[in-house]
């Protein structure tokens, strides 16, 4: 994936570029055909210094209308589960792999992901969270650079470069597959445990061990 140049930044070190600068470069984007059918670009929302960033697939109908991620049924489901990780919506940052709604909620296509993902990459570098929670296959495959499905990857944490990665089911999928919800809850509990064991300001609490073994795929972020 090409590294996107943000005007005014020579090196674009982690946390150097603001989310507003990235959104400026995105502009009134028509880099892929989704730009022709969307109502609003859904850039992302939340704490720009969040420890945890959630990554979804792409906006649905409500998100397209409101310009904000996870405000529809999947968002309500996510909100109801965040406390399992000891988190609130105000403490996290949420973005999607593609920033415009695929028509009829179809899957984003490879060319659309290719066009949009440099923006997600820059958002990740701007927020520079400790943990990336990947909701569903598209986010998981982008972050872990794998073709494997989330069903096989979930249930453990991965270390990729700076980030601890938690692949898990998409909350929308759990609306239809209610038997997946306990697994999503387990994954969020694992994220909560990791956060407690790794306070932001430094070392792990006594008696804890690193919970993030090496990722099977190469790191996305160096
Ligand atoms: N599903 C997603 O993947 N993202 C949203 O923003 C909403 C639903």
DSSP secondary structure of 96-162: ESSSSPPGGGPPPPHHHHHHHHHHHHHHHHHH--SEEEEESHHHHHHHHT----HHHHTTS-EEETT
pLDDT of the residue at 2? 65
Report CA(46)–ligand 1 centroid distance (Å).
14
Cβ atoms of 15 and 126 within 8 Å: the answer is: yes
Residues 43, 109, 157: CA angle, nearest 5 degrees: 70
Atom index in ligand 1 nearest the CA of residue 56 equals 3
Please count the residues of the chain: 222
Domains of the chain: 19-197 (3.40.470.10)
pLDDT tens digits, residue range 181-205? 999 999 999 999 999 999 987 655 5
pLDDT tens digits, residue range 15-50? 999 999 999 999 999 999 999 999 999 999 999 999
Q: Compute CA 58 distance to the chain's CA centroid, rounded to the nearest angstrom.
A: 10
According to DSSP, the β-strands at 93-96 and 52-56 are parallel
Report CA(135)–ligand 1 centroid distance (Å).
9
Q: Give the C-alpha distances (Å, rounded to integers) separating 107 from 12, 98, 149, 204, 214.
A: 31, 10, 14, 39, 29
Inform me whether the pLDDT recorded for 9 exceeds 60.
Answer: yes
Report CA(95)–ligand 1 centroid distance (Å).
8
- Mean pLDDT over residues 122-140, rounded? 98
Residue burial 84-96, b: 16+ Cβ < 10 Å; e: rest: bbebeeeebbbbb
State the pTM of this model: 0.91
Beta bridge partners of 46: 93
């Amino acid at each position: 994936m090409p590294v996107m140049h943000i005007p005014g930044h020579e090196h674009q070190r982690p946390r150097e570029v603001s989310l507003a600068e990235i959104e400026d470069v995105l502009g009134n984007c028509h880099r892929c055909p989704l730009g022709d059918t969307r109502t609003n670009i859904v850039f992302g929302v939340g704490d720009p210094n969040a420890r945890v960033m959630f990554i979804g697939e792409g906006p649905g109908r409500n998100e397209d209308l409101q310009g904000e991620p996870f405000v529809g049924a999947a968002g309500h489901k996510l909100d109801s589960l965040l406390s399992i990780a000891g988190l609130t919506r105000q403490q996290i940052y949420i973005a999607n792999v593609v920033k415009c709604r695929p028509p009829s909620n179809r899957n984003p296509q490879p060319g659309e992901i290719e066009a949009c993902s440099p923006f997600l990459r820059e958002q990740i570098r701007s927020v520079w969270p400790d943990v990336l929670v990947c909701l569903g296959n598209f986010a998981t495959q982008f972050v872990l650079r794998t073709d494997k499905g989330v069903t096989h990857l979930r249930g453990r944490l991965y270390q990729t470069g700076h980030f601890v990665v938690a692949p898990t089911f998409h909350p929308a999928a759990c609306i239809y597959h209610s038997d997946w919800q306990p697994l999503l809850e387990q994954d969020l509990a694992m994220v909560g445990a990791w956060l407690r064991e790794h306070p932001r300001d430094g070392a792990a609490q006594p008696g804890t061990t690193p919970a993030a073994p090496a990722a099977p795929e190469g790191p996305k972020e160096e």
